[in-house]
Amino acid sequence: MLTTLYRLRRLLTLDLRVFDEVRVDTSATLPALVVAVVSIATLGLGGWFWWIVSGLEGRWDVLLKSVVLGTAFATAAWIVWLIVAFAVMNRIARVALDVGALLRAAGFACAPLCLALLMAVRPIAFGIGLTAIAAWVATTQIAMQRASGRSGGEVLLANVAGFGAWAIVMSLLATATNQTAPGPFLAESIWEAVTRGRVTFLP
């Protein structure tokens, strides 16, 4: 636990050597998964905070759907992201990635999602949510480069393809009646609800 916290603190200072360490440290597999799940959960919490400060009703339903179920679905979709990236790297670059190394590096790369907690600041909530996800994609790119030993366009293509799969799944989960998607994806459910006249605001 202390080692994990130390590594996360170093990531905050942009010490990218952490990715090199965890990719070869097999004992970091479980901590990496915990970091990923907790970080994705903070994305959900950030969206829920925004929902509350925006005065929208159904906050407890959204807590269950977006934070609890949303975290589960987003984590599963994150695994799909890695599978797609692995497949693209293997197919295009002919790189035989170590699955464990990729999982550990990508798990710690989820840490920037904690920025989403600042979505409680309503005027900049959507921008914060997008920034958190963009930072996540960027750190995952670095993690994939360190895990594969490559830094060319094939790694970027693999990461974008994987993220695209994740984003599409999240978008499909954000509907007017089921806000089962975390963070800024709640805005999509709001938009659909508004256009269908299904959203109400608390007085």
> pLDDT of 49-99, one tens digit each?
988 887 777 788 888 888 899 899 999 999 999 999 999 988 877 777 788
What is the token pair recorded at 169? 């799944």
Q: Retrieve residue 190's tokens.
A: 């709001």
How far apart are alpha carbons 125 and 18 in whole angstroms? Answer: 29
152: left (phi over 0), alpha (psi -120 to 50) or beta: beta
Residue 202 pLDDT greater than 60, yes or no: no
Note the pLDDT of residue 186.
75
Whether 168 shows a pLDDT value over 70: the answer reads yes
What is the rounded CA–CA span in Å between residue 71 and residue 66?
7
6: enclosing H helix or E strand? helix 2-12
Number of alpha carbons in the 13 Å side-chain half-sphere of residue 169: 19
If phi > 0 it is left, if psi is from -120 to 50 it is alpha, else beta; for residue 200 that is beta
